[in-house]
Structure 1
Amino acid sequence: VYDGHGGQYVAEYLRTHLFANTVEKIKQLLASIHDNEKQNTAATNLMPKSTQKRPSMSNVLDTETAKDASSQVKRSDSSKSTKSNKDFVGEKVAKDKANECIKSCIGDDEPSTEQDCVTNESFSKSIAGDKLLSSTAKRSDSEENVNETPLKKDDAYNTLNIRKKSLANIKESAKEVGSVSSDDNHLYVDLNKNINYTKLLTDQILYLDSQVVEHCKTNTDLSGSTAVVAVLDGELLVVGNVGDSRAVMADDRGRAIPLSFDHKPNQLKERRRIKEAGGFITFTGVWRVAGILATSRALGDFPLKHPRPLVTAEPDILTFSLNDHKAQFVILATDGLWDVLSNEDAVSYVRARLHEPDFGAKSVAQYAYALGSQDNITVAIINFTKMNKNNTTPR
């Protein structure tokens, strides 16, 4: 849904290109994912069976190392807990020899130095043997702990750099990407073969904004537009918003769930951004950027973007699970509807008219006009109940 202001060029350009470009890009990404899966399957099937079943040398070495470590652990455990019978026998023999040596030396004025040396040597060997077994046990314990500690697998989402980019970097990325180029498909597919819709919608919107801004600068066109878009992928709902158009979901109990947030100049985050860009806001019935625009984000509106970016086209992207929210329908509408109807009132009105051919979209627009809305009104309804009955797959 697009809401043009200051002229219709930007809104018409978005209506023609944003939907078509995004759908075409999604088709390319799905085809790319499918082709990669086929190639991986074919490569696996082409591998000789002996190669597939034969363990690699690294696995063999790992197995042998594990066996050695296991045997060391068993030996060390037996020496750690209690001494074995063999150790007690060896120690008893050494003590008997020492006693014999002492008895033979009792009658002498001076003990036999040679026998003392033999006794000391036997005791030293016994103690050294115990120390060796103890150190071996400790070393094997540490090896056991290392072998038993599982290595954490790399999480695709944890390894990704998810720091928020600056607006300038995002715009440069969008310009390089282009609209429907297939050379950059890898940028939009994660390691789990899922499409990154946040990046996709952001790049598409910023790319089109750069196109319309250049055109408007050349032709001195002051038009601009807000936009709210929704993408369905199975049970995944992705909503992108630029400006003060709005998306609202109704669950199976008729509760209203906001899917987007209006970009108004008086919001703290938006007011701070405008001030940092060197701009200001004024109140003339409604809050306006530089006393001109009543929304803080929009596509087009080049005088408010150059030379200072007081207004931005960077969208907010939110993702929702239809199953978790038990969604019944979604309303996408311009601010002409929301100026006179709350989220709850709009949901209640549409819910009572889902049986109509357009699921109540026309009725709620006429109702908003009758309530005195002074702005243009555009409404789109996505009826998930109808989709489920027809067994249609949104993707």
Structure 2
Amino acid sequence: MGPAASHCASCLQCVGVFDGHQGALTAALAAQHMPQLLHSALLGRALASSADTRRLPDARGGAGSAALSAFEAAVAAAFLSFDRWWRDARCDPALTQHGWDESGATALVGLVAGDTLTVGNAGDGAALLARGGRAHRLSEEHRAGSNAAELERVLSAGGRVVTLWPGAAARVAGSTGPASSWASMVTRSLGDFAFKHPHPILSPEPALRSVALTPSDSLLLVATDGVTDVLPDDDALAIAVDAVERGRQVTDDGAALARAAAAAVARSALVWGSDDNVTAAVMLFDWTAHESL
């Protein structure tokens, strides 16, 4: 569940969700290490290599994108640093059950520094900002069936897009061999190295977006596709906001309110028939604390 965040010049808060597939280890380790990787990147101790730095603007929206902010660069560096470390560590028998791990994970991180919110995501998790009572999606869905730019990138990298049964969603398969029962729904992820070598069909580079927060922003909801595939964005945020408002009648503990909001969203997704992994986290923005400084 996500922490509550008060606003001040020195505040640094992060929240994230990591949705595993073909095993849970990539997601678990990414969740464990991502806060420290973000912190290190912001301090300049784990900056991306010069080759990665040249690629990072492409993660924001293609050639010609504006230069990355320090916060966007830190989020991108954290994703790439984890993926490079995990490429080798997945073969460490001290970490893996069988001395080898083939799992992957979508990843979505929201980083708040002062009044700036930066979101980075690889995969199909969603970051929803409650602004003026409406949902504003800050993440990008990396699916071959719904993202034309990602489909083109996958095909250019040598990948194939397949449907495993009539009416099924498009999935990414490797460049050679028959399409197996495991083909990736997403086009970007952490781990999934069978799809990254020898050709980088799946990418760990996050899509990035930064926004300046204002007092009309009340909370950030981050959720896996098990939530957003069954709950429209406005409905998911309405559930979270309602849970916070009801919770304020009994407590002013921001962390407790954030947990209650996330739990309400997750419960609703299950009620509405989600059969996928369901995870949600909420970060609250405390403008009263901000104004009192």
Using structure 2 for the length normalisation, give the TM-score. 0.73
Among 288, 294, 300, the residue aligned to 2:171: 288
Does the CA-based 8 Å contact 1:359-1:383 persist in structure 2? no
Report Cα offsets for 1:230-277 as digits up to 9, x if no partner: 11111111111110011011113x111111111001221111111111
Report Cα offsets for 1:173-200 as digits up to 9, x if no partner: 99xxxxxxxxxxxxxxx9xxx9611221
5+ residue gaps, structure 2:
1-16, 57-66, 93-98, 174-178, 248-256
Among 274, 277, 286, the residue aligned to 2:154: 274
Cross-structure match for 2:140: 261
State the shift of 1:216 in Å. 2.9
Aligned positions, number:
234
Matched, 1:380 2:260: no
Distance in 2, Cα, partners of 1:275 & 1:326:
41
Match of 2:227, SS state, is helix
Distance in 1, Cα, partners of 2:170 & 2:204:
18
Matched, 1:303 2:194: yes
Distance in 2, Cα, partners of 1:171 & 1:340:
37
Does the CA-based 8 Å contact 2:118-2:208 persist in structure 1? yes
Report Cα offsets for 1:267-295 as digits up to 9, x if no partner: 21111111111111112322110150100
Cross-structure match for 2:211: 320
Match of 1:271, SS state, is helix
Report Cα offsets for 1:118-164 as digits up to 9, x if no partner: xxxxxxxxxxxxxxxxxxxxxxxxxxxxxxxxxxxxxxxxxxxxxxx
Match of 2:236, SS state, is helix
Distance change in 2, residues 1:245/1:321 (3 Å) = same
Distance in 2, Cα, partners of 1:208 & 1:363:
31
Cross-structure match for 1:34: none
Distance in 1, Cα, partners of 2:35 & 2:157:
31
Largest Rg, 1 or 2: 1
Distance change in 2, residues 1:168/1:276 (3 Å) = farther
Distance in 1, Cα, partners of 2:197 & 2:291:
45
State the shift of 1:22 in Å. 1.1
Cross-structure match for 1:69: none
Distance change in 2, residues 1:171/1:235 (3 Å) = closer
Does the CA-based 8 Å contact 1:335-1:377 persist in structure 2? yes
Distance in 1, Cα, partners of 2:41 & 2:85:
18
Does the CA-based 8 Å contact 1:197-1:238 persist in structure 2? yes
Matched, 1:368 2:269: yes
Cross-structure match for 2:220: 330
Does the CA-based 8 Å contact 2:154-2:202 persist in structure 1? yes
Does the CA-based 8 Å contact 2:129-2:217 persist in structure 1? yes
Distance change in 2, residues 1:172/1:269 (3 Å) = closer
Matched, 1:346 2:226: no
Matched, 1:212 2:90: no
Distance in 2, Cα, partners of 1:368 & 1:195:
35
Match of 2:273, SS state, is coil
State the shift of 1:215 in Å. 2.7
Cross-structure match for 1:169: 51
Alpha carbon RMSD of aligned pairs, Å? 2.7
The one-letter code matched in structure 2 to 1:169 is A
- The structure showing larger relative contact order (alpha-carbon pairs under 8 Å, at least 6 residues apart) is 2
Match of 1:231, SS state, is strand
Using structure 1 for the length normalisation, give the TM-score. 0.55
5+ residue gaps, structure 1:
30-166, 175-189
Match of 2:83, SS state, is helix
Match of 2:87, SS state, is helix
Higher helix fraction: Structure 1 or Structure 2?
1
State the shift of 1:220 in Å. 3.2
Report Cα offsets for 1:67-88 as digits up to 9, x if no partner: xxxxxxxxxxxxxxxxxxxxxx
State the shift of 1:306 in Å. 0.7
